[in-house]
């Protein structure tokens, strides 16, 4: 268990925060859930993903995987390079960012601190997270498994969140990064987090445990059906996801 910040009256409880976030999340059809989970797991190879690679993972030609990438729920979460290859998706990145995310000795990054709490479940892998406190500079380290947080150093670390609205989700990866992710950090202590929050209106602090509970809800809402029956792939091999019909 991590230390829980004392919530001020104007800070939403985790339950209330989830209820404000949920309506703004674009729904994923079963086909889109398969595409999303496949993208996350292909990015785990720590390289950009092209249409052909995604098609192989899904058991379809590149033309069909390319079309699926253009669906709103997928396209709005894709961070691509100039060639159209997927560098990042839904919080996971092959390009360096603030939050280091190591899985099976492969180095990736996440767009925000909270991403590192929900992505291990999607990957079916335990991740080692290292994220500098943006206020004091101390490194916060976590070990996050698909089913829970195994360790946090320092143990009094907390996480910032920002209030949700319709402008955050369902637009583009760039908008999500700028208006949401850039306000979500780990802090080495409550005091450090409070100093940062004072300078960033609309942000507040949660315990890491509360943030993980939100992450579980997020995964169940977006990918629950797919995660129930899909198995994580072996690195270095192409994963075959159930074909999309």
Mean pLDDT by 10 residues, the chain (245 residues): 60 92 89 96 96 95 94 94 95 97 97 98 97 97 97 98 75 90 97 97 96 96 87 45 40
Q: 4 in a domain, yes or no?
A: no
* pTM for the full predicted model: 0.89
| 105-143 confidence digits (pLDDT tens) | 999 999 999 999 999 999 999 999 999 999 999 999 999
CA distance 125 to 235: 11
Q: 236 in a domain, yes or no?
A: no
CATH number for position 110:
3.30.450.410
Q: Which residue has the tokens 């993980």?
A: 212
Domain that holds residue 161: 14-229
Q: 9 in a domain, yes or no?
A: no
Q: 79 in a domain, yes or no?
A: yes
Q: 238 in a domain, yes or no?
A: no
From residue 240, give the alpha-carbon distance in Å to each of 78, 106, 210: 21, 21, 34
What burial class does residue 96 get, using C-beta atoms within 10 Å of its C-beta: 0-12 exposed, 13-18 middle, 19+ buried? exposed
CA distance 173 to 9: 32
* pLDDT value for 5: 59
Q: 120 in a domain, yes or no?
A: yes
Q: 201 in a domain, yes or no?
A: yes
Q: 26 in a domain, yes or no?
A: yes
Q: Which residue has the tokens 């159209």?
A: 84
Domain count, the chain: 1
Taking the CA of residue 180 as centre, how many other CA atoms within 13 Å lie in the half-sphere pointing to its CB? 25
């Amino acid at each position: 268990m991590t230390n829980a910040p004392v919530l001020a009256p104007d800070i939403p409880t985790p339950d209330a925060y989830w209820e404000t976030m949920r309506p703004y999340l674009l729904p994923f059809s079963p086909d889109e859930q398969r595409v999303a989970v496949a993208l996350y797991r292909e990015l785990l190879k720590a390289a950009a993903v092209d249409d052909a690679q995604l098609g192989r993972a899904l058991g379809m030609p590149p033309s069909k995987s390319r079309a699926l990438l253009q669906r709103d729920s997928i396209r709005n979460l894709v961070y691509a390079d100039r060639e159209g290859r997927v560098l990042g998706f839904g919080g996971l990145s092959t390009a360096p960012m603030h939050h280091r995310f190591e899985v099976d000795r492969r180095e990736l990054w996440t767009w925000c601190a909270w991403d590192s709490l929900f992505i291990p479940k999607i990957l079916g892998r335990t991740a080692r997270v290292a994220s500098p406190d943006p206020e004091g500079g101390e490194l916060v380290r976590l070990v996050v498994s698909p089913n829970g947080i195994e360790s946090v150093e320092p143990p009094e670390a907390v996480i910032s969140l920002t209030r949700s609205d319709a402008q955050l989700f369902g637009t583009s990866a760039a908008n999500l990064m700028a208006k949401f992710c850039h306000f979500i950090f780990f802090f080495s202590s409550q005091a450090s987090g409070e100093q940062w929050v004072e300078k960033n209106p609309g942000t507040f602090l949660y315990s890491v445990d509360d943030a993980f509970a939100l992450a579980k809800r997020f995964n169940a809402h977006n990918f629950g059906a797919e995660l129930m029956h899909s198995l994580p792939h072996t690195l270095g091999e192409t994963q075959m996801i159930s074909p999309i019909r």
